[in-house]
Copies of this chain bind each other. A is one copy, B any other.
Amino acid sequence: MTRSLITLRSPDWLVALERRSKQAFPDVEERMDFVIGLSRKNIAVGAGGPFGAAVFNSDDGTLLSCGVNLVLDGRCSMLHAEIAAIIRAQIKTGTHDLSASGLPPFELVTSTEPCVMCFGAVTWSGIKRLVCGARREDAEYIGFDEGEKPLTWKEALENRGIEVLRDVLRNEAASVLKEYRKRGGRIYNPQRS
């Protein structure tokens, strides 16, 4: 007998989008455009910050899993979009290692480059490529804190065999962040009162 450690709920609309998993997104801009759509939708529903991410099969462009920032709805500071997408991907493949033999190469596409925690999570996940839209300065510009990520984070991932592609549709991704601020969206950094 076991007890639930945590049950995280995935919003209906996210599950519905994931059902498009047979659809292929042939090029990286299409994948990023889809992920930016997740970040925009997350502003509308207010589950957390304006961030989206998804895991794709790098070979054929099919979608494996989606994630959005669920920090507020999930009452969990670790539920960044990248974490949610990786959790779903690992559940779907049944392994903690997305680079396990027998699996195709997977890539994580994220509307904003990862914070220090998600940088670490990428390191352990087994993904082979990281594709980023907005930069950390775009997130920090609207008040989000990205943490003490090493300045050489891109090189660190590449040294581990994880390709990093940045600035894919950066302007479009950053415009969603600005929209969040304009609407008065909550910046949920710890109070440390």
Contacts and interface: CB of A to CB of B under 8 A. Distances in A.
Interface string A72-93: 1011111100011011101100
A63 interface: no
Given A2-B9, A2-B10, A115-B120, 17 more contacts: A4-B7, A4-B10, A6-B7, A6-B8, A6-B88, A76-B90, A77-B96, A77-B121, A77-B126, A78-B124, A97-B191, A99-B193, A116-B119, A120-B147, A120-B149, A124-B189, A126-B190
B192 A161 contact: yes
Interface stretch (A130-138, A152-160, A173-181): A152-160
22 contacts: A2-B10, A3-B10, A4-B7, A5-B84, A6-B91, A7-B7, A75-B91, A75-B94, A76-B91, A77-B90, A77-B97, A78-B83, A99-B192, A100-B193, A115-B120, A115-B124, A117-B119, A118-B120, A119-B148, A125-B190, A148-B150, A148-B156
Interface residues of A, number: 65
Top 4 nearest A-B pairs (CB, nearest first) are A117-B120, A5-B10, A116-B120, A5-B8
A23 interface: no
Given A101-B191, A160-B192, A9 B3 contact: yes
Contacts of A10: 2-5
A188 interface: yes
A190 B78 CA distance: 21
Which of A9, A71, A119, A190 gathers the greatest number of chain B CB atoms within 10 Å? A190
Nearest to A115: B120
